[in-house]
Amino acid sequence: MPRTERIVVGISGASGVVIGLRTVEELLAAGREVHVIVTDAAREVIRHEMGKSYRFPKGAKVHSEGDSASPLNSTSFLVDAMVVAPCSVKSLSALASGYANNLLTRAADGMLRTGKKLVVVPRETPLSLAALSNMAQLKLGGAIIMPPCAAYYHGPKTVADMTDFFVAKILDLLGVEHRLMRRWGER
């Protein structure tokens, strides 16, 4: 029997943690096994942007960055795809250089080492030469770079609409079906 698709969502300490968290909700709704890696800085940003009482979606398997016993530390634990959303410039730098210093960067490095899908959603503006070079390096290493760039053609009315546009793009890249936005050419 084929196993359920297993997807890892890494959430680092950049602004826009809601993008990763909404992605987790949609992946769970689509029946995927979802592992979430939350860095220490991300926990701080979650408190700030989602509120102190925020709880991770039921069903998500949540791992901390220092969880060295996590199965996600080993590529023998089969993962189908991973997304880092949002990705801070610090984690971006670690990913680009292979500095696998915590569970998030280690798991992402495993995706690159084994040629599996890694979607990186860097959140910073404007961008330094270092960040741009790190993105280019990661792209060369096989990652997909998807900055959360807003669009207007789908008629967003709220911040939630804008967020769901980014989540829709991530789900498209992961090959996960959704109805989060009206596509160009659809009525």
Ligand X SMILES: Cc1cc2nc3c(=O)[nH]c(=O)nc-3n(C[C@H](O)[C@H](O)[C@H](O)COP(=O)(O)O)c2cc1C
Give me the residues that bind ligand X (CB under 6 A), please: 12-15, 39, 41-42, 44-45, 48, 88-91, 123-124
Residues 80/118, Cβ–Cβ less than 8 Å: no
Give every CB contact of residue 101 below 8 A, 6+ residues apart in sequence. Answer: 94
What minimum distance in Å lies between the beta carbon of 177 and ligand X?
Answer: 29
Distance CA 25, CA 36 (A): 11
Q: What is the DSSP letter of 3?
A: P
For ligand X, the closer of residues 15 and 64 by Cβ is 15
Residue nearest to ligand X (CB): 13
For ligand X, the closer of residues 31 and 44 by Cβ is 44
Looking up tokens 């979606």, which residue turns up?
57
For ligand X, the closer of residues 86 and 110 by Cβ is 86
For ligand X, the closer of residues 100 and 181 by Cβ is 100
What minimum distance in Å lies between the beta carbon of 134 and ligand X?
Answer: 11
Strands (DSSP E) found in the chain: 6-11, 33-38, 61-64, 81-87, 117-122, 144-145
What minimum distance in Å lies between the beta carbon of 16 and ligand X?
Answer: 7
